[in-house]
């Protein structure tokens, strides 16, 4: 069931404005750098999200569509090999051109063309579906923009902050657990709205009895692990995780730093002293698994976490760009699950150019569930399967613990 | 339920002899080299399998046990961090000492001590269990010895063969499929004999209707993929797989070579011209997944393959060191499954020193099922979960295809 | 003999203005990127040249000097370990802050402070010497700015040019040779003006009879080498050079490209079709040595080239940012010599903080002589010893051939 | 002036026997491994030295010569690209075949063929010259065998020694200096006997007045540097040297180790406690240059050292495989010079297949002079130019200091 043309136009206009609003807090130079291969320069995100509308929709469905600049097809393609070559990801930060101003012109061009398409005459049903997906795609990049901007600002030797509103102090979460019984459950998209191909089809799954924590792991709980030599006890770690810790000399979560004996955490609100009651974020799967092992508990499977999320009521969180409420089920931190990212039974990838959207990444990644504080509100649903490699941690990733009921 | 002492003694003596028999076909120099970090020098296997008996059993249960050489504790430890340091895996091939002769003395020492332990007085129940596991451990290394020796011999610029018995020509397998219905099945060790911790506990799993091929993919079928530009069509590959193919300039299965327009395959029986009806072996998960994609089919999950194997009757294969029968259910080639290697529900790792045996590798590996031509006969069972990283291919890995029933 | 305060002030003001003039042709984004570890972002050059005045002069000789920003001491230190830590060179392109505007403020602050120092009261003799060296240091960075900006602009997928004035067509140089007799010569700084420590002391050197070309090697001559399979004949290359060619798949000079069968060269004036009479530039020592070997000639030693340069009259060249006159002795392209960069007899490094300026690089580098088209006019003298690693080629490096007289 | 056929035959027989005698002290397994890319397996040396006689002499000058095994042409070629392909140097240790026994057969074959050539009829003058060079080549490899065997044995976790004769204690050298006056000297081969192309032609060189130490730097002197934080003071080091120390975490000479507070040195006579009066060996150019800098002295140029060696009388040293006499001019340790390895004026490489012998390595290497304790006696002469990269140190390299006379 596809959304109506008028609704889509409204969603399109909104999503395009939100992207620009996110970028309104940074300097021209911040748009250019790529301090790590996994991070993209913000100006690349601005171009790439526009390119998808051009490549997937305008090129096919807009009569006599003329490219803004044919070179942008290669430049702003991320990884869609079916539509041609693309710039090597790790070299995006070497390119000074097109400038931010030129990319803003490109965005304006795409906005005008898309608006024209959605206001003039009829649009094919399949085009509407592609537009809806492309809007969701831009929302994904809004979250990536927050992640990448945080990485870029944090790496500067001069103190920087994305916004200067103060972060409120967090309350200590209550330790409580929810139990689930054994049996067959239904997993995946319920068909009520938009979903990606990797959430489908809805299917039966046999669940074993388990218990899951009602709160996210806090900075204070993880600090106890760290102070109990958690990072130096090899027995707590996966084999690859131990290699990662040893080779990378990892001794604390990504944005933590110890200055004159006090722990600090870098946030989009600037560097703050570590709040022990705030949810832990920016940890790798390796750290999450080692912590669970230290607790003699485990991470939930993605099915367990989905069942828990569906059963929970999430409270509305304070507007901020850093999680402050460990007691909430979703919308604070993406929770690592013990599930490696695999296709659902009878999985079928998107047709056409978006075929490469999800399926080809189903290897050596772990699923995260629940959404985070910088996930766009209307982008998230409980069947949403986020995924990252086990060593990555620049996303807002955290921990919710589970245990078997025996 | 543990095995009796007398039975174990007999099994111990047999397994130790078989290891030596495997090594009787190679030259002293072949025992030393390590042409790839994942390959171990055969002399290291001889030492390591002996070391496990020393570390896990003799040290604890043999009264007044004196080490043969304390330095061997570090030298022949593979990765058991709980019992101390170990030599870096990739540097095993840099060590010329101890010599093969010295390691043979070490083996003889361990044999004598173990025999004494198993013939004198009573042995604790838990020790018997550890001995049984250590015997199975040595059987695992027998398969590794075949794999590593094959790698070592194949890499020499001079023609070599492990044995000179001729390989019989294979018959073309019949294309037939077996269907399975939807429903709950029991997966994992049935408790009838020995099993590793990762096969346990037996548990319920919801199976979706599927069909699975009765034959393994043959060299001929894979050659068709290769000749249809299978290695150069990015859309067939996982994203990481495409990176692997591109960076490594991979254009054919590991032991294949094209000489003057004819395809050859290196086997333990020497270099032979490619037999199109023999089962395909020595391919990576990436190649298996790309081939399945090209066929518009898929790999089975590990549960699907277990259910198929349990339901099948395997014919006795001809004694050889290369698979020749694509029509057999098990014992020819380890089949890649689409299942990433994860703990079973309520998984509990071995206690004690063997705790690190399996669990810590449950990350970025895929499960293979079915046993191969060089798997020791009494080592294999249908619940057996072998696992390798998706780019590895020096093991006897092959493909059995599956598809959804819709 | 040091320069007078008033003269230095005038030189200081000029050099600071020239640096800004060089940067006036590029976009804000061009100041930020670092497409190769050896290339620095232009904004880093702007900061670093200012920092040297602050660190070496203002900090010591300006009463009550207050840092513009103490963090800049680390940020803009290149490699002077004696004065503290410095940012890792290859990560300069990861830093978006300070912004270009902030660095311009820093420059203005340094300009004001230096002007004050040089107009108020007396300045110590040693400070004047340091100021003179720091002015020459900024001139070195002016040449680096041209080199780095060329690299940055060339790497963009969109066509760019630094300036749009057209380049004139070059005349074919006359092939003529100058002979020099055997005997003792004096090498090094003649004491008439400023020089670096590595040009001193002037000393005797025994010269063997040689002949040297009056013209630089042209693009056309090098194209003949390329078309005679110069890049694929291992016998022409140094051992390390052959490794460099093979590993890097090098097949032509750095800024050359073959488009639809026609050779082009990227210049600061934009992409132009290859002019066969223009001097060859942007080649590595490896390429220069292979070319000389192909010609059955050799590169001159640095002493031979110095003697030639001193004996020659250089014609004034047309103002351009690309060499056009292969017939000129100096000021077109830095010529590779066969001399590895070593200390002169009785070499003594600068005292104090500039001690690390030259001496510590005397290892695995080759000397280049003669100055190039983008070398600031008053910066160059014939005793000038430029030096680069044998694989580097983003500088304006070319070839002048020599041969023994037997 | 070439040597007579009969003399050459005697030299050939002797050199071939000496190589085998060197190898008679090690185990079969020691012949196989390659613990570092620069180290070759001893069995490779045995094959390679034989191959040179086959490739350079037998193939051209022995009538109807039949290869022992054509595959050996690739296998045992080191780097002579003109004569075809060769196995990648760093992969020599991956090859288990040919076995040591097979290579011994190959040697015997070459011995027989060469003996036949040198006893039957006349041999062309140019062939005699090539034979002489190939004999010197095998002597070079005798020194390499000592170096490589030392590296291989030292790296084993079990204690090993090459020979078990005890090493005598060294006497403290007298600190004395020899002065040389300014003027023109003659450098290079004096034409009295065999020399390599890189020692020729003899030529004039202008020498500046200098003083040079009559003794080699001892372990005790270097220990004082180490204990004065020599390895952690960046100002003492070349820029590349500091990178090498930092990245490699270098804190002491190659074969030194600190065990329970006492310094030990690994020698071919086994591990011994550090003798403070023995000559320092196995250090890199970087360490030598840093030590000289710490002493406020310098390394000699290669011409200075040649002049000193020619003027000195070397005492006969005790037969051992480790230097014990710091007071001797030559034959104890190769002394690093400050001269980068460059061609002499009018240098002309060997003709024919040996053209690649020396010239192509004249880049990023430093010259060492004086011969060491394991250099074959009749192989050495004072004009001998040994050369290594500045970070290498598995050869018997040491330090003789020099200073300017001002």
Give tens-digit pLDDT for D8-65: 999 999 999 999 999 999 999 999 999 999 999 999 999 999 999 999 999 999 999 9
Of C239, C338, C346, the CB nearest to D79: C239
Å between C82 CA and nearest CA of chain D: 7
pLDDT at A359 over 80: yes
Short-list A254, A19, A29, CA closest to A146: A19
| Residue-level pLDDT at C309 | 98
* SS3 state at B113: helix
* Angle made by CA atoms B59, B60, B65, in degrees to the nearest 5: 40
D158 compared with D149, residue with greater pLDDT: D149
* SS3 state at A345: coil
Q: Where in chain A is the domain with CATH 1.20.120?
A: 5-154
* SS3 state at A165: coil
| Residue-level pLDDT at C82 | 72
pLDDT at B318 over 90: no
| Residue-level pLDDT at D2 | 63
Which of B317-339 are b and which e, b meaning 16 or more Cβ less than 10 Å from the residue's Cβ? Answer: eeebbbbbbbbbbbbbbbbbbbb
Residues of D with CB under 8 A from a CB of C: 79, 81-82, 184, 203-206, 208, 234-235, 237-242, 285, 338-343, 345-346, 355-356, 360-364, 390, 404, 406
Chain B partners within 8 Å of D157 (Cβ): 71, 74-75, 87, 95, 97
| Residue-level pLDDT at C200 | 97
CB contact under 8 A, B356 and A204: no
Cβ(B219)–Cβ(B280) under 8 Å? yes
Q: Is the peptide bond before B252 cis (omega within 30 degrees of 0)?
A: no
Cβ(A394)–Cβ(A36) under 8 Å? yes
pLDDT at A86 over 80: no
Cβ(D350)–Cβ(D133) under 8 Å? yes
Cβ(A138)–Cβ(A16) under 8 Å? yes
Cβ(D211)–Cβ(D364) under 8 Å? no
What does the pLDDT look like over A87-121, one tens digit per residue?
Answer: 788 899 999 999 999 999 999 999 999 999 999 88
Short-list A32, A43, A98, CA closest to C42: A32
Å between B153 CA and nearest CA of chain D: 8
pLDDT at B1 over 60: no
Cβ(C372)–Cβ(C334) under 8 Å? yes
The chains found to touch A (3+ Cβ pairs under 8 angstroms) are B, C
Q: Name the residue with tokens 């803004």.
A: A68
Task: Give A298's DSSP letter.
Answer: B
A27-36, B122-131, C308-317: lowest mean pLDDT where?
Answer: C308-317
What does the pLDDT look like over A380-401, one tens digit per residue?
Answer: 999 999 999 999 999 999 999 9
Q: Where are the beta strands (DSSP E) in A104-229?
A: 177-180, 183-187, 203-207, 210-213
d(C-alpha C257, C-alpha C285), whole Å = 20
d(C-alpha B45, C-alpha B149), whole Å = 11
| Residue-level pLDDT at C79 | 76
Residues of B with CB under 8 A from a CB of A: 79, 81-82, 184, 203-206, 208, 234-235, 237-242, 285, 289, 338-343, 345-346, 355-356, 360-364, 390, 404, 406
Say which residues have a Cβ less than 8 Å from residue C365's Cβ, sequence separation at least 6.
C340, C341, C387, C388, C389, C390
pLDDT band at B319 (very low <50, low <70, confident <90, very high): confident
pLDDT band at A319 (very low <50, low <70, confident <90, very high): confident
| Residue-level pLDDT at D388 | 98
d(C-alpha B148, C-alpha D350), whole Å = 44
* Angle made by CA atoms C311, C315, C319, in degrees to the nearest 5: 140
* SS3 state at C266: strand
Residue pLDDT tens, chain C, 406 long: 567 999 999 999 999 999 999 999 999 999 999 999 999 999 999 999 999 999 999 999 999 999 999 999 989 998 777 777 777 888 999 999 999 999 999 999 999 999 999 998 899 999 999 999 999 999 999 999 999 999 999 999 899 999 999 999 999 999 999 999 999 999 999 998 999 999 999 999 999 999 999 999 999 999 999 999 999 999 999 999 999 999 999 999 999 999 999 999 999 999 999 999 999 999 999 999 999 999 999 999 999 999 999 999 776 667 899 999 999 999 999 999 999 999 999 999 999 889 989 999 999 999 999 999 999 989 999 999 999 999 999 999 999 999 999 8
Cβ(A385)–Cβ(A188) under 8 Å? no
Q: Where in chain C is the domain with CATH 3.90.1580.10?
A: 177-404
pLDDT at A81 over 80: no
Task: Give A125's DSSP letter.
Answer: H
What does the pLDDT look like over C106-164, one tens digit per residue?
Answer: 999 999 999 999 998 899 999 999 999 999 999 999 999 999 999 999 999 899 999 99
> Strands across the sheet with B256-259, in order?
B256-259, B262-267, B270-273
User: Rounded to the nearest 5°, which phi and psi values hold at C368?
Assistant: -120, 145
The pair of structure tokens assigned to A92 is: 């995006």
Å between A300 CA and nearest CA of chain C: 37
Short-list D98, D119, D139, D111, CA closest to D386: D139
d(C-alpha D241, C-alpha C361), whole Å = 10
| Residue-level pLDDT at A316 | 67
Average pLDDT over residues A70-90: 82
Average pLDDT over residues B7-36: 98
Say which residues have a Cβ less than 8 Å from residue C64's Cβ, sequence separation at least 6.
none
d(C-alpha A190, C-alpha A308), whole Å = 15
| Residue-level pLDDT at C88 | 84
* SS3 state at A368: strand
| Residue-level pLDDT at B238 | 97
CB contact under 8 A, C95 and A34: no
d(C-alpha B254, C-alpha B301), whole Å = 24
pLDDT at A79 over 90: no
Å between B110 CA and nearest CA of chain D: 19
| Residue-level pLDDT at D82 | 72
| Residue-level pLDDT at A180 | 98
d(C-alpha D281, C-alpha D266), whole Å = 11
Cβ(B356)–Cβ(B405) under 8 Å? no
Chain D partners within 8 Å of B31 (Cβ): 29
pLDDT band at D316 (very low <50, low <70, confident <90, very high): low
Cβ(D283)–Cβ(D292) under 8 Å? no
What does the pLDDT look like over B251-299, one tens digit per residue?
Answer: 999 999 999 999 999 999 999 999 999 999 999 999 999 999 999 999 9
Average pLDDT over residues A282-301: 98
What does the pLDDT look like over A113-172, one tens digit per residue?
Answer: 999 999 988 999 999 999 999 999 999 999 999 999 999 999 998 999 999 999 999 999
pTM for the whole structure: 0.96
Of D35, D99, D156, the CB nearest to B29: D99
d(C-alpha D64, C-alpha C399), whole Å = 48
| Residue-level pLDDT at B243 | 97
| Residue-level pLDDT at A374 | 98
Average pLDDT over residues D220-231: 98
| Residue-level pLDDT at C2 | 63
B180-189, B334-343, C81-90: lowest mean pLDDT where?
Answer: C81-90
The chains found to touch C (3+ Cβ pairs under 8 angstroms) are A, D
B73 compared with D269, residue with greater pLDDT: D269
Which of B118-150 are b and which e, b meaning 16 or more Cβ less than 10 Å from the residue's Cβ? Answer: beeeebeeebbbbbbbbbbbbbebbbbbbbbbb
Say which residues have a Cβ less than 8 Å from residue C144's Cβ, sequence separation at least 6.
C40, C45
d(C-alpha A264, C-alpha A312), whole Å = 32
pLDDT at D1 over 60: no
Chain mean pLDDT for chain A: 95
Of all residues in chain B, the percent with pLDDT exceeding 90 is 90
Chain A partners within 8 Å of B242 (Cβ): 81, 360
Sign of CA dihedral B194, B200, B206, B209: negative
3.40.50.800, 3.90.1580.10, 3.30.1330.60, 3.40.50.300: CATH of A177-404: 3.90.1580.10
| Residue-level pLDDT at D352 | 87
Of all residues in chain D, the percent with pLDDT exceeding 90 is 90
Chain B partners within 8 Å of A81 (Cβ): 234-235, 242
Architecture of the domain delimited by B5-154:
Up-down Bundle (1.20)
Chain A partners within 8 Å of B342 (Cβ): 338-340
Å between A341 CA and nearest CA of chain C: 31
Q: Distances from the Cα of B281 to the Cαs of A17, A149, B287, C144, in angstroms? A: 54, 47, 11, 56
The chains found to touch B (3+ Cβ pairs under 8 angstroms) are A, D
What does the pLDDT look like over A171-184, one tens digit per residue?
Answer: 999 999 999 999 99
d(C-alpha D55, C-alpha D350), whole Å = 16
DSSP bridge pairs for C363: none
Say which residues have a Cβ less than 8 Å from residue A111's Cβ, sequence separation at least 6.
A13, A16
| Residue-level pLDDT at A2 | 62
d(C-alpha B28, C-alpha B99), whole Å = 9
Chain D partners within 8 Å of C406 (Cβ): 346
């Amino acid at each position: 069931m596809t959304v109506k043309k008028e609704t889509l136009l409204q969603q399109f206009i909104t999503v395009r404005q939100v992207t620009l609003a996110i970028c309104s807090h940074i300097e021209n130079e911040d748009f250019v750098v790529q301090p790590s291969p996994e991070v993209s320069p913000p100006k690349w995100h601005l171009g790439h999200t526009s390119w998808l509308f051009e490549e997937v929709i305008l090129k096919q469905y807009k009569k006599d569509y003329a490219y803004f600049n044919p070179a942008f097809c290669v430049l702003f393609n991320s990884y869609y090999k079916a539509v041609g070559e693309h710039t090597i990801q790790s070299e995006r930060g070497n390119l000074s051109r097109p400038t931010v101003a030129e990319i803003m012109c490109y965005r304006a061009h795409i906005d005008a063309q898309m608006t024209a398409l959605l206001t003039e005459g009829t649009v094919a049903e399949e085009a509407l579906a592609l537009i809806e997906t492309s809007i969701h795609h831009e929302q994904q990049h809004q979250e990536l923009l927050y992640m990448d901007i945080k990485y870029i600002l944090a790496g500067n030797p001069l103190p920087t902050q994305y916004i200067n509103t103060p972060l409120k102090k967090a309350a200590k979460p209550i330790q409580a657990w929810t139990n689930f019984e054994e049996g067959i459950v239904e997993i995946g998209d319920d068909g009520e709205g938009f979903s990606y191909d990797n959430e489908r089809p809805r299917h039966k799954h046999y669940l074993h009895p388990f218990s899951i924590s009602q709160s996210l792991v806090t900075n204070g709980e993880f600090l106890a692990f760290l102070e109990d030599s958690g990072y130096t006890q090899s027995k707590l770690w996966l084999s690859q995780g131990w290699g990662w810790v040893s080779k990378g000399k990892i001794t604390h979560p990504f944005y933590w730093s110890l200055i004159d004996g006090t722990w600090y955490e870098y946030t989009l609100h600037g560097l703050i002293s570590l709040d022990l009651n705030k949810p832990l974020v920016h940890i790798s799967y390796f750290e999450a698994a080692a912590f669970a092992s230290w607790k003699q508990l485990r991470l939930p499977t993605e099915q367990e976490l989905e069942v828990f999320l569906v059963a929970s009521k999430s409270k509305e969180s304070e507007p901020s760009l850093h999680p402050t409420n460990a007691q909430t089920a979703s919308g604070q931190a993406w929770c690592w699950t013990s599930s490696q990212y695999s296709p659902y039974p009878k999985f079928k990838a998107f047709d056409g150019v978006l075929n490469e959207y999800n399926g080809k990444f189903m290897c050596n990644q772990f699923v995260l569930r629940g959404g985070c504080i910088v996930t766009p509100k209307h982008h998230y649903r409980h069947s949403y399967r986020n995924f990252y490699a086990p060593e990555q941690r620049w996303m807002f990733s955290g921990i919710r613990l589970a245990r078997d009921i025996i």
